[in-house]
Homo-oligomer: A and B are copies of this chain.
Amino acid sequence: MTDDPLPSLDGFTRRDWQSGETTGTIRVAMVGLGWWTREQAIPAVAASDFCETTAVVSGSAEKVRSATDLADSIAHGLTYEEFHDGVAADAYDAVYVVTPNGAHLPYVETAADLGKAVLCEKPLEASVERAERLVEACGDADVPLMVAYRMQTEPAVRRAREVVESGAIGEPVVVHGHMSQRLLDEVVPDPDQWRLDPGLSGGATVMDIGLYPLNTARFVLDADPVRVRARAVVESEPFDAVGDEHVSFGVDFDDGTLAACTASQSAVQSSFLRVTGTEGEVTLDPAFYNRQNRGFRLSVGSQSVDYDFDRVDQMTEEFDYFAHCLLTGTDPHPDGDHALVDMRAMDAIYAAAERGSDVEVESA
């Protein structure tokens, strides 16, 4: 950054985390073969510089068979039992866990027992207690644990964080963030899906997509949540059990910034993040969906610029960052402790919605 109020942000999509001389390949086993793994993760890894998928793991023999065809590098299709038994464990270096939230723990425990690095999907688990056990398992086994907040390796988000850190918008004052999609109409048209089962998901909307404005605000501000207030509303019957279809929540950060966030599983696909400071603003709109356009606007005083940049595949960036950390012996971020803060914050959001009062986010 320079002192120019509207910096050029040269090399917008540069990988600021990548060192030039790094070589090598991390072999990944993917655990859980839902649409996300098949349509996003496997193609993203195939396009990556530092990873390849060598094993896939699922409870469904049919899913395993069809997934082994998705990339030439996939040599092993394992059942969950075979994975727990360590079958073909020599064929992979790291495990990407992308099962339903409430099933992350046993697969991460097995990965840790096998001495494998772990990339675990967010949210970490379906409850704070299980998430703490997950982090502890990786710590006890001394295996690297990264949590798959793909926004943290999205260039637009990294540039927003740099802009805020540079002071270009002054001190951050308020943040608005939103994420919505039509889960049942457009994403997963099945009312029996695990996201709507509170035991497997821990909540439908805050846990699945409300997490994006929450965590991205944390990352851009470099601040942590201390207090929340919230409202959760259910309009359609499939959301009765989980209790959150549309949500609105306020988050007070430890730097004094106030965030106003919303999320809905039954609204048009939309996402944005807007940080308003004493001197300017930075806005990502659209912000959060992979393989969707990104917008990046920086305003300082009355000047405003929309930056053009090439969209990257967020999953490729995320996997390459994770693999690069492993290849260079660097601790990956976001780690388990970072993700536990979100788990506690989301627990507080659900409690605030239930009680109708502000709730402090518990400390570790």
Query: Which residue numbers of A lie inside 8 Å of B, CB to CB?
Result: 169-170, 173-174, 176, 178, 180, 182, 227, 229-231, 233, 235, 246-250, 252, 256, 258-262, 264, 266-270, 272, 274, 276-281, 299-302, 355-358
Contacts and interface: CB of A to CB of B under 8 A. Distances in A.
Contacts of A178: 174, 176, 260, 274, 276
Contact of A246 (B170, B174, B233, B358): B174
Given A250-B248, A356-B357, A356-B358, A176 B268 contact: no
A248 B251 CA distance: 9
B250 A231 contact: yes
Contacts of A248: 174, 250, 252, 258-260
Contacts of A182: 278
Contact of A250 (B250, B252, B272, B299): B250
Q: Chain A: interface secondary structure?
A: strand
A266 B176 CA distance: 17
Contacts of A357: 355-358
Most buried by B among A180, A231, A261, A357: A231
Contacts of A270: 276, 281, 299
Nearest to A185: B278
A245 to B, nearest CB: 9
A358 B354 CA distance: 11
Contacts of A174: 178, 180, 246, 248, 262, 264, 267
Contacts of A230: 229, 250
Contacts of A261: 260
A138 B276 CA distance: 40
Contacts of A247: 258
Nearest to A257: B246
A25 B299 CA distance: 43
A57 to B, nearest CB: 34
A252 B256 CA distance: 24
Contacts of A260: 176, 178, 248, 250, 260-262
A235 B255 CA distance: 11
A47 B174 CA distance: 37
A272 to B, nearest CB: 8
B173 A180 contact: yes
Q: Which of A231, A248, A256, A262 is the most central at the interface, judged by chain B CB atoms within 10 Å of its CB?
A: A248
A267 B272 CA distance: 20
A301 B185 CA distance: 12
Contact of A180 (B259, B276, B302): B276
Contacts of A277: 267-268
B262 A278 contact: no
Contacts of A267: 170, 173-174, 276-278
| Complex A-B, nearest 5 residue pairs according to Cβ-Cβ distance, in ascending order | A260-B260, A357-B357, A248-B258, A356-B358, A174-B262
Contacts of A301: 268
A278 B266 contact: yes
A53 to B, nearest CB: 30
A299 to B, nearest CB: 7
A145 B238 CA distance: 47
A227 to B, nearest CB: 8
Contacts of A358: 229, 231, 356-357
